[in-house]
Amino acid sequence: MRFYEYESRQIVERAGVPVTQYGYAKTADEARAAAERIAGPVVIKSQVLTGGRMKAGGVKFADTPDEAAAHAAEILELEINGHMPRGVLVDPKAEVAQEYYAGIVWDPTQKQPMMLFSDMGGIDIEQVAEEHPDHVGRGHFSNLLPFSDFQAKQVIASVGMTGRELNRATPVLTRLARMFADYDMTLAEINPLARLEDGSFVALDAHMEMEDEARPRHRKLLEELGISEDDDREAYEPSDFERNVAAIDSADHRGVIQGKDHGFEGNIGLVIGAGGGSLTLTDAVRNQGGRPANYSEIGGNPSVSKACGLAKQVLQKDGVEKIAVMMSIVSNTRVDIVARGVIKACLELDRDPGETIAIFRIPGAWEEEGFKILDRYGIEYCDRSVSMWEAAGRAVAKVQGSADPDASGREAEEASG
Protein backbone atom coordinates (compact mmCIF):
# COMPACT_ATOMS: atom_id res chain seq x y z
CA MET A 1 0.00 0.00 0.00
CA ARG A 2 1.40 3.33 -1.08
CA PHE A 3 1.12 6.36 1.19
CA TYR A 4 0.46 9.88 0.01
CA GLU A 5 3.33 12.30 0.48
CA TYR A 6 1.59 14.07 3.36
CA GLU A 7 1.16 10.73 5.13
CA SER A 8 4.73 9.64 4.37
CA ARG A 9 6.01 12.87 5.91
CA GLN A 10 4.03 12.18 9.07
CA ILE A 11 5.57 8.71 9.20
CA VAL A 12 9.17 9.96 8.88
CA GLU A 13 8.43 12.69 11.40
CA ARG A 14 7.28 10.06 13.90
CA ALA A 15 10.49 8.17 13.23
CA GLY A 16 12.43 11.25 14.34
CA VAL A 17 13.46 12.68 10.98
CA PRO A 18 12.85 16.45 10.83
CA VAL A 19 10.42 17.73 8.20
CA THR A 20 9.44 21.27 7.15
CA GLN A 21 6.43 22.98 8.75
CA TYR A 22 4.18 22.08 5.83
CA GLY A 23 0.40 22.26 5.71
CA TYR A 24 -2.08 19.89 4.06
CA ALA A 25 -5.05 21.48 2.29
CA LYS A 26 -8.14 20.09 0.58
CA THR A 27 -9.41 23.43 -0.71
CA ALA A 28 -7.93 26.65 -2.10
CA ASP A 29 -8.96 28.50 1.08
CA GLU A 30 -7.17 25.99 3.28
CA ALA A 31 -4.09 26.41 1.07
CA ARG A 32 -4.25 30.18 1.51
CA ALA A 33 -4.48 29.78 5.28
CA ALA A 34 -1.48 27.44 5.29
CA ALA A 35 0.54 29.91 3.22
CA GLU A 36 -0.42 32.75 5.58
CA ARG A 37 0.78 30.71 8.54
CA ILE A 38 4.08 29.91 6.77
CA ALA A 39 4.44 33.63 5.90
CA GLY A 40 6.92 33.27 3.07
CA PRO A 41 7.36 31.70 -0.37
CA VAL A 42 5.76 28.24 -0.63
CA VAL A 43 5.58 25.20 -2.92
CA ILE A 44 2.14 23.75 -3.73
CA LYS A 45 2.32 20.00 -4.40
CA SER A 46 -0.43 17.74 -5.72
CA GLN A 47 -1.17 14.76 -3.47
CA VAL A 48 -1.54 11.88 -5.92
CA LEU A 49 -0.36 8.28 -5.80
CA THR A 50 1.70 8.50 -8.96
CA GLY A 51 5.05 9.84 -10.09
CA GLY A 52 5.77 12.61 -12.61
CA ARG A 53 3.93 15.36 -10.70
CA MET A 54 6.44 18.05 -11.60
CA LYS A 55 6.26 17.34 -15.33
CA ALA A 56 2.45 17.23 -15.29
CA GLY A 57 2.17 20.66 -13.64
CA GLY A 58 1.28 19.29 -10.22
CA VAL A 59 4.01 21.26 -8.41
CA LYS A 60 3.96 25.07 -8.40
CA PHE A 61 5.71 27.90 -6.54
CA ALA A 62 3.90 30.83 -4.92
CA ASP A 63 5.19 34.03 -3.31
CA THR A 64 1.93 35.19 -1.72
CA PRO A 65 -1.05 33.50 -0.03
CA ASP A 66 -3.30 34.60 -2.92
CA GLU A 67 -0.99 33.05 -5.44
CA ALA A 68 -0.89 29.89 -3.29
CA ALA A 69 -4.71 29.73 -3.30
CA ALA A 70 -4.85 30.19 -7.09
CA HIS A 71 -2.28 27.44 -7.73
CA ALA A 72 -4.02 25.13 -5.27
CA ALA A 73 -7.37 25.64 -7.04
CA GLU A 74 -5.76 24.66 -10.34
CA ILE A 75 -3.82 21.67 -9.01
CA LEU A 76 -6.86 20.30 -7.15
CA GLU A 77 -8.63 19.99 -10.53
CA LEU A 78 -5.64 18.54 -12.35
CA GLU A 79 -5.70 14.83 -13.19
CA ILE A 80 -2.25 13.20 -13.30
CA ASN A 81 -1.81 9.80 -14.99
CA GLY A 82 -5.48 9.05 -14.41
CA HIS A 83 -5.38 10.05 -10.73
CA MET A 84 -7.24 12.97 -9.18
CA PRO A 85 -5.38 14.56 -6.25
CA ARG A 86 -6.68 14.03 -2.75
CA GLY A 87 -5.40 17.46 -1.69
CA VAL A 88 -2.34 19.67 -1.88
CA LEU A 89 0.67 20.07 0.33
CA VAL A 90 1.73 23.63 1.10
CA ASP A 91 5.42 23.55 1.87
CA PRO A 92 7.74 26.42 2.88
CA LYS A 93 10.42 26.96 0.25
CA ALA A 94 13.57 25.83 2.04
CA GLU A 95 17.04 27.39 1.81
CA VAL A 96 18.85 24.30 0.63
CA ALA A 97 22.62 23.91 0.67
CA GLN A 98 22.62 20.41 -0.84
CA GLU A 99 20.17 17.63 -1.70
CA TYR A 100 20.71 13.98 -0.81
CA TYR A 101 18.85 10.70 -1.23
CA ALA A 102 18.13 8.22 1.58
CA GLY A 103 16.17 5.05 0.96
CA ILE A 104 15.51 1.50 2.16
CA VAL A 105 14.35 -1.31 -0.14
CA TRP A 106 14.13 -5.09 0.06
CA ASP A 107 16.83 -7.12 -1.65
CA PRO A 108 15.05 -10.41 -2.40
CA THR A 109 18.30 -12.13 -3.43
CA GLN A 110 20.03 -11.36 -0.14
CA LYS A 111 16.64 -11.58 1.66
CA GLN A 112 17.51 -8.54 3.76
CA PRO A 113 16.63 -4.85 3.64
CA MET A 114 19.16 -2.67 1.84
CA MET A 115 20.06 0.94 2.63
CA LEU A 116 20.75 3.30 -0.24
CA PHE A 117 22.32 6.72 0.21
CA SER A 118 23.46 9.29 -2.32
CA ASP A 119 24.88 12.79 -2.17
CA MET A 120 23.06 13.46 -5.44
CA GLY A 121 19.45 13.83 -4.33
CA GLY A 122 16.36 15.24 -5.97
CA ILE A 123 16.57 12.98 -9.01
CA ASP A 124 15.64 9.37 -9.61
CA ILE A 125 18.02 7.07 -7.70
CA GLU A 126 18.07 4.58 -10.61
CA GLN A 127 19.42 7.32 -12.84
CA VAL A 128 22.12 8.22 -10.33
CA ALA A 129 23.04 4.55 -9.94
CA GLU A 130 23.42 4.22 -13.69
CA GLU A 131 25.28 7.46 -14.40
CA HIS A 132 27.22 7.98 -11.17
CA PRO A 133 27.57 4.59 -9.48
CA ASP A 134 30.25 5.91 -7.10
CA HIS A 135 27.69 8.35 -5.69
CA VAL A 136 25.40 5.58 -4.44
CA GLY A 137 26.24 3.82 -1.18
CA ARG A 138 24.61 0.50 -0.30
CA GLY A 139 24.45 -1.72 2.75
CA HIS A 140 22.29 -4.61 3.96
CA PHE A 141 21.12 -5.02 7.52
CA SER A 142 20.00 -8.02 9.52
CA ASN A 143 16.37 -8.98 10.07
CA LEU A 144 17.22 -10.40 13.49
CA LEU A 145 20.10 -8.42 15.01
CA PRO A 146 19.42 -4.92 16.34
CA PHE A 147 20.31 -2.10 13.96
CA SER A 148 23.26 0.01 14.97
CA ASP A 149 24.35 3.50 13.82
CA PHE A 150 27.67 2.35 12.38
CA GLN A 151 25.82 0.46 9.63
CA ALA A 152 24.25 3.69 8.38
CA LYS A 153 27.53 5.57 8.87
CA GLN A 154 29.42 3.08 6.68
CA VAL A 155 26.95 3.51 3.83
CA ILE A 156 27.07 7.32 3.97
CA ALA A 157 30.86 7.41 4.33
CA SER A 158 31.17 5.18 1.25
CA VAL A 159 30.07 8.06 -1.01
CA GLY A 160 32.87 10.21 0.40
CA MET A 161 30.98 12.14 3.07
CA THR A 162 32.81 13.10 6.26
CA GLY A 163 32.91 15.70 9.04
CA ARG A 164 29.81 17.26 10.50
CA GLU A 165 27.69 16.27 7.46
CA LEU A 166 28.40 12.58 8.00
CA ASN A 167 27.61 12.79 11.69
CA ARG A 168 24.34 14.65 11.11
CA ALA A 169 23.16 12.42 8.23
CA THR A 170 23.84 9.15 10.05
CA PRO A 171 20.89 9.32 12.49
CA VAL A 172 18.54 10.13 9.60
CA LEU A 173 19.41 6.93 7.75
CA THR A 174 19.39 4.94 11.01
CA ARG A 175 15.89 6.16 11.86
CA LEU A 176 14.67 5.43 8.36
CA ALA A 177 16.05 1.88 8.55
CA ARG A 178 14.42 1.20 11.93
CA MET A 179 11.13 2.65 10.74
CA PHE A 180 11.26 0.45 7.60
CA ALA A 181 11.60 -2.65 9.77
CA ASP A 182 9.14 -1.61 12.51
CA TYR A 183 6.33 -0.77 10.12
CA ASP A 184 6.73 -3.56 7.53
CA MET A 185 7.55 -1.14 4.75
CA THR A 186 8.45 -2.38 1.29
CA LEU A 187 9.88 1.00 0.30
CA ALA A 188 10.96 3.99 2.38
CA GLU A 189 12.50 6.91 0.54
CA ILE A 190 13.41 10.46 1.45
CA ASN A 191 14.19 12.28 -1.76
CA PRO A 192 15.32 14.95 -1.53
CA LEU A 193 16.79 14.89 1.90
CA ALA A 194 18.02 18.47 2.23
CA ARG A 195 20.92 19.94 4.14
CA LEU A 196 19.89 23.49 5.01
CA GLU A 197 22.21 26.47 5.27
CA ASP A 198 22.39 25.96 9.04
CA GLY A 199 23.71 22.42 8.55
CA SER A 200 20.55 20.61 9.68
CA PHE A 201 18.89 17.88 7.61
CA VAL A 202 15.17 17.89 6.70
CA ALA A 203 13.02 15.62 4.55
CA LEU A 204 11.58 17.64 1.65
CA ASP A 205 9.71 14.72 0.13
CA ALA A 206 9.03 11.16 1.24
CA HIS A 207 7.66 8.04 -0.43
CA MET A 208 6.58 5.13 1.74
CA GLU A 209 4.92 1.83 0.89
CA MET A 210 3.68 -0.70 3.43
CA GLU A 211 3.21 -4.39 2.74
CA ASP A 212 -0.53 -5.09 2.32
CA GLU A 213 -0.27 -8.38 4.23
CA ALA A 214 1.10 -6.51 7.26
CA ARG A 215 -1.64 -3.88 7.45
CA PRO A 216 -3.57 -5.71 10.20
CA ARG A 217 -0.68 -5.38 12.64
CA HIS A 218 -0.26 -1.64 12.04
CA ARG A 219 -3.88 -0.72 12.63
CA LYS A 220 -2.92 1.87 15.22
CA LEU A 221 -0.62 3.79 12.88
CA LEU A 222 -3.09 3.60 10.00
CA GLU A 223 -5.89 4.80 12.23
CA GLU A 224 -3.82 7.73 13.42
CA LEU A 225 -3.08 8.64 9.82
CA GLY A 226 -6.82 8.49 9.12
CA ILE A 227 -6.57 5.55 6.72
CA SER A 228 -9.62 3.29 6.87
CA GLU A 229 -9.49 -0.46 6.35
CA ASP A 230 -11.32 -0.34 3.02
CA ASP A 231 -8.94 2.29 1.63
CA ASP A 232 -7.03 -0.28 -0.43
CA ARG A 233 -4.90 2.16 -2.49
CA GLU A 234 -5.11 0.13 -5.69
CA ALA A 235 -3.09 1.48 -8.62
CA TYR A 236 -6.42 2.32 -10.29
CA GLU A 237 -10.14 2.48 -9.42
CA PRO A 238 -11.63 -1.04 -9.38
CA SER A 239 -14.23 -1.69 -12.11
CA ASP A 240 -17.76 -2.95 -11.40
CA PHE A 241 -16.63 -6.38 -12.57
CA GLU A 242 -13.73 -6.39 -10.12
CA ARG A 243 -15.87 -5.15 -7.27
CA ASN A 244 -18.63 -7.68 -7.95
CA VAL A 245 -16.26 -10.64 -8.16
CA ALA A 246 -14.59 -9.57 -4.91
CA ALA A 247 -18.00 -9.33 -3.22
CA ILE A 248 -18.99 -12.83 -4.40
CA ASP A 249 -15.67 -14.17 -3.14
CA SER A 250 -15.94 -12.67 0.33
CA ALA A 251 -19.56 -13.77 0.77
CA ASP A 252 -18.63 -17.47 0.70
CA HIS A 253 -15.55 -19.00 2.33
CA ARG A 254 -15.43 -22.05 0.04
CA GLY A 255 -12.74 -21.72 -2.62
CA VAL A 256 -11.20 -18.48 -3.82
CA ILE A 257 -12.13 -16.48 -6.91
CA GLN A 258 -10.58 -13.33 -8.30
CA GLY A 259 -11.32 -11.21 -11.35
CA LYS A 260 -9.48 -8.35 -13.02
CA ASP A 261 -10.34 -6.53 -16.20
CA HIS A 262 -8.18 -3.43 -16.08
CA GLY A 263 -6.43 -3.32 -19.46
CA PHE A 264 -8.56 -6.12 -21.01
CA GLU A 265 -11.11 -5.40 -23.74
CA GLY A 266 -11.76 -8.63 -25.61
CA ASN A 267 -14.58 -10.97 -26.52
CA ILE A 268 -13.44 -14.22 -24.83
CA GLY A 269 -14.49 -14.42 -21.20
CA LEU A 270 -11.98 -16.33 -19.09
CA VAL A 271 -13.06 -18.49 -16.16
CA ILE A 272 -9.64 -19.91 -15.37
CA GLY A 273 -7.35 -20.96 -12.56
CA ALA A 274 -5.43 -20.94 -10.50
CA GLY A 275 -2.46 -18.51 -10.02
CA GLY A 276 0.17 -19.90 -12.38
CA GLY A 277 -2.49 -21.59 -14.49
CA SER A 278 -4.26 -18.28 -15.02
CA LEU A 279 -1.05 -16.59 -16.17
CA THR A 280 -0.30 -19.48 -18.53
CA LEU A 281 -3.83 -19.61 -19.98
CA THR A 282 -4.16 -15.84 -20.47
CA ASP A 283 -0.90 -15.94 -22.48
CA ALA A 284 -2.08 -19.00 -24.42
CA VAL A 285 -5.29 -17.22 -25.48
CA ARG A 286 -3.52 -13.99 -26.44
CA ASN A 287 -0.61 -15.63 -28.21
CA GLN A 288 -3.03 -17.52 -30.47
CA GLY A 289 -4.76 -14.34 -31.55
CA GLY A 290 -7.54 -14.39 -28.94
CA ARG A 291 -8.67 -11.30 -27.10
CA PRO A 292 -9.45 -12.02 -23.42
CA ALA A 293 -12.17 -9.89 -21.86
CA ASN A 294 -10.72 -10.38 -18.39
CA TYR A 295 -8.28 -12.17 -16.16
CA SER A 296 -9.58 -14.49 -13.45
CA GLU A 297 -8.60 -17.10 -10.92
CA ILE A 298 -10.49 -19.99 -9.41
CA GLY A 299 -8.67 -21.80 -6.67
CA GLY A 300 -9.35 -24.23 -3.88
CA ASN A 301 -12.72 -25.89 -3.92
CA PRO A 302 -15.39 -23.31 -4.76
CA SER A 303 -19.12 -23.92 -4.32
CA VAL A 304 -21.58 -24.07 -7.21
CA SER A 305 -22.77 -20.56 -6.41
CA LYS A 306 -19.25 -19.15 -6.37
CA ALA A 307 -18.30 -20.68 -9.73
CA CYS A 308 -21.67 -19.55 -11.06
CA GLY A 309 -21.14 -16.04 -9.71
CA LEU A 310 -17.77 -15.63 -11.40
CA ALA A 311 -19.03 -17.04 -14.73
CA LYS A 312 -22.05 -14.75 -14.64
CA GLN A 313 -19.94 -11.68 -14.02
CA VAL A 314 -17.67 -12.63 -16.92
CA LEU A 315 -20.62 -13.35 -19.24
CA GLN A 316 -22.26 -10.01 -18.44
CA LYS A 317 -19.21 -8.03 -19.44
CA ASP A 318 -19.64 -5.93 -22.58
CA GLY A 319 -18.48 -7.67 -25.72
CA VAL A 320 -18.13 -11.17 -24.26
CA GLU A 321 -19.27 -13.74 -26.81
CA LYS A 322 -18.23 -17.02 -25.23
CA ILE A 323 -16.41 -18.14 -22.12
CA ALA A 324 -13.56 -20.59 -21.78
CA VAL A 325 -13.43 -22.60 -18.55
CA MET A 326 -9.90 -23.91 -18.11
CA MET A 327 -7.48 -24.91 -15.36
CA SER A 328 -4.20 -26.72 -14.97
CA ILE A 329 -4.46 -30.19 -13.38
CA VAL A 330 -6.32 -29.78 -10.10
CA SER A 331 -6.02 -31.84 -6.95
CA ASN A 332 -8.80 -30.69 -4.64
CA THR A 333 -11.14 -28.74 -6.94
CA ARG A 334 -14.41 -30.57 -7.55
CA VAL A 335 -14.61 -30.45 -11.36
CA ASP A 336 -18.29 -31.43 -11.33
CA ILE A 337 -19.12 -28.53 -9.02
CA VAL A 338 -17.35 -26.03 -11.26
CA ALA A 339 -19.20 -27.53 -14.25
CA ARG A 340 -22.53 -27.14 -12.49
CA GLY A 341 -21.67 -23.56 -11.58
CA VAL A 342 -20.77 -22.39 -15.07
CA ILE A 343 -23.78 -24.16 -16.62
CA LYS A 344 -26.06 -22.53 -14.06
CA ALA A 345 -24.61 -19.13 -14.96
CA CYS A 346 -25.45 -19.69 -18.66
CA LEU A 347 -28.98 -20.88 -17.92
CA GLU A 348 -29.74 -18.03 -15.55
CA LEU A 349 -28.70 -15.59 -18.26
CA ASP A 350 -30.79 -17.43 -20.86
CA ARG A 351 -27.75 -18.60 -22.77
CA ASP A 352 -27.29 -22.08 -24.24
CA PRO A 353 -24.38 -23.62 -22.25
CA GLY A 354 -23.27 -25.71 -25.26
CA GLU A 355 -22.99 -22.57 -27.36
CA THR A 356 -21.69 -20.24 -24.69
CA ILE A 357 -18.95 -22.38 -23.14
CA ALA A 358 -16.29 -22.61 -25.85
CA ILE A 359 -14.22 -25.21 -24.03
CA PHE A 360 -14.04 -26.86 -20.61
CA ARG A 361 -10.64 -28.16 -19.53
CA ILE A 362 -10.24 -28.98 -15.85
CA PRO A 363 -8.31 -32.25 -15.50
CA GLY A 364 -8.47 -33.83 -12.06
CA ALA A 365 -9.87 -36.46 -9.78
CA TRP A 366 -13.48 -35.41 -10.26
CA GLU A 367 -13.40 -35.06 -14.04
CA GLU A 368 -15.55 -38.13 -14.80
CA GLU A 369 -18.43 -36.68 -12.78
CA GLY A 370 -17.92 -33.38 -14.57
CA PHE A 371 -17.91 -34.96 -18.03
CA LYS A 372 -21.33 -36.54 -17.42
CA ILE A 373 -22.87 -33.17 -16.72
CA LEU A 374 -21.04 -31.44 -19.58
CA ASP A 375 -22.22 -34.16 -21.99
CA ARG A 376 -25.81 -33.49 -21.07
CA TYR A 377 -25.53 -29.89 -22.25
CA GLY A 378 -23.43 -30.56 -25.34
CA ILE A 379 -20.41 -28.69 -23.99
CA GLU A 380 -17.01 -29.41 -25.52
CA TYR A 381 -14.57 -30.65 -22.90
CA CYS A 382 -11.19 -32.29 -22.75
CA ASP A 383 -8.89 -34.03 -20.29
CA ARG A 384 -5.15 -33.64 -19.61
CA SER A 385 -4.25 -35.21 -22.96
CA VAL A 386 -5.22 -31.86 -24.52
CA SER A 387 -2.63 -29.28 -23.48
CA MET A 388 -3.50 -25.92 -21.97
CA TRP A 389 -2.23 -24.27 -25.15
CA GLU A 390 -4.42 -26.45 -27.37
CA ALA A 391 -7.53 -25.95 -25.22
CA ALA A 392 -7.01 -22.19 -25.35
CA GLY A 393 -6.52 -22.43 -29.11
CA ARG A 394 -9.83 -24.25 -29.53
CA ALA A 395 -11.61 -21.53 -27.58
CA VAL A 396 -10.02 -18.82 -29.71
CA ALA A 397 -10.98 -20.62 -32.94
CA LYS A 398 -14.59 -20.96 -31.78
CA VAL A 399 -14.98 -17.32 -30.85
CA GLN A 400 -13.37 -16.21 -34.08
CA GLY A 401 -15.57 -18.70 -35.94
CA SER A 402 -18.73 -17.32 -34.36
CA ALA A 403 -17.79 -13.80 -35.48
CA ASP A 404 -18.13 -15.15 -39.03
CA PRO A 405 -21.89 -15.10 -39.95
CA ASP A 406 -21.60 -18.21 -42.15
CA ALA A 407 -19.97 -20.20 -39.39
CA SER A 408 -22.56 -19.23 -36.82
CA GLY A 409 -25.27 -20.17 -39.33
CA ARG A 410 -23.76 -23.63 -39.63
CA GLU A 411 -23.57 -23.97 -35.89
CA ALA A 412 -27.21 -22.99 -35.56
CA GLU A 413 -28.17 -25.64 -38.09
CA GLU A 414 -26.16 -28.28 -36.28
CA ALA A 415 -27.68 -27.29 -33.00
CA SER A 416 -31.22 -27.53 -34.34
CA GLY A 417 -30.44 -30.80 -36.15
Partner 1 sequence: MSILLTESTTFIVQGITGREAVNLTRECLDFGSKIVGGVTPGRKGRDVHGVPVFDTVGQVVEANGAIPDGSVVTVPPAFTKDAVLEAIEAGVKLVVIVTERIPRRDVAQMVELANMREARIIGPNCLGIMVPGVAKMGGIGGPAKDAAKAYTPGSVGIMSRSGGMTTEIASTLTAAGLGQSTAVSIGGDAIIGSTYAELMPLFEADDQTEAIVIYTEPGGRMEAQLVEWRETNQGAQRPVGAAGAARLPIVAFMAGRFMDDEEMKGMSFGHAGTIVEGKEDTATEKIARLESAGIPVVERIDEIPDVVRDKLGVTA
- Interface residues with partner 1 (CB under 8 A)? 106, 108-109, 111-113, 126, 142-144, 181, 184, 186, 211, 213-214, 216-217, 235, 260, 262-263, 273-280, 282-284, 286-287, 295, 297, 327-332, 363-365, 384-385, 387-390
Task: Decide whether 56 or 73 has the Cβ nearer to partner 1.
Answer: 56
Q: How far is the CB of 51 from partner 1 (least distance, A)?
A: 11
Q: How far is CA 201 from CA 53, 137, 164, 173, 292, in A?
A: 24, 18, 11, 11, 52
Short-list 251, 283, 286, CA closest to 266? 286
CB proximity list for 146: less than 8 A, separation 6 or greater: none
Q: What secondary structure letter does DSSP report for 381? A: B
Task: Decide whether 151 or 278 has the Cβ nearer to partner 1.
Answer: 278
Cis peptide before 192 (omega within 30 of 0): yes
Q: How far is the CB of 148 from partner 1 (least distance, A)?
A: 16
For β-strands 268-273 and 322-327, DSSP reports them as parallel
Q: How far is the CB of 241 from partner 1 (least distance, A)?
A: 15
Q: How far is CA 8 from CA 4, 49, 190, 210, in A?
A: 6, 11, 9, 10
Task: Decide whether 84 or 214 has the Cβ nearer to partner 1.
Answer: 214
Q: How far is the CB of 178 from partner 1 (least distance, A)?
A: 12
Task: Decide whether 54 or 235 has the Cβ nearer to partner 1.
Answer: 235
Task: Decide whether 36 or 283 has the Cβ nearer to partner 1.
Answer: 283
Q: How many CA atoms lie within 13 A of 143 on its CB side?
A: 10
CB proximity list for 4: less than 8 A, separation 6 or greater: 47, 48, 49, 86
Task: Decide whether 263 or 417 has the Cβ nearer to partner 1.
Answer: 263
Q: How far is the CB of 129 from partner 1 (least distance, A)?
A: 11
The helix or strand, by DSSP H or E, that contains position 43, with its residue range, turns out to be strand 42-46
Task: Decide whether 74 or 283 has the Cβ nearer to partner 1.
Answer: 283
Q: How far is the CB of 327 from partner 1 (least distance, A)?
A: 8
Q: How far is the CB of 416 from partner 1 (least distance, A)?
A: 36
CB contact at 8 A, 141 and 115: yes
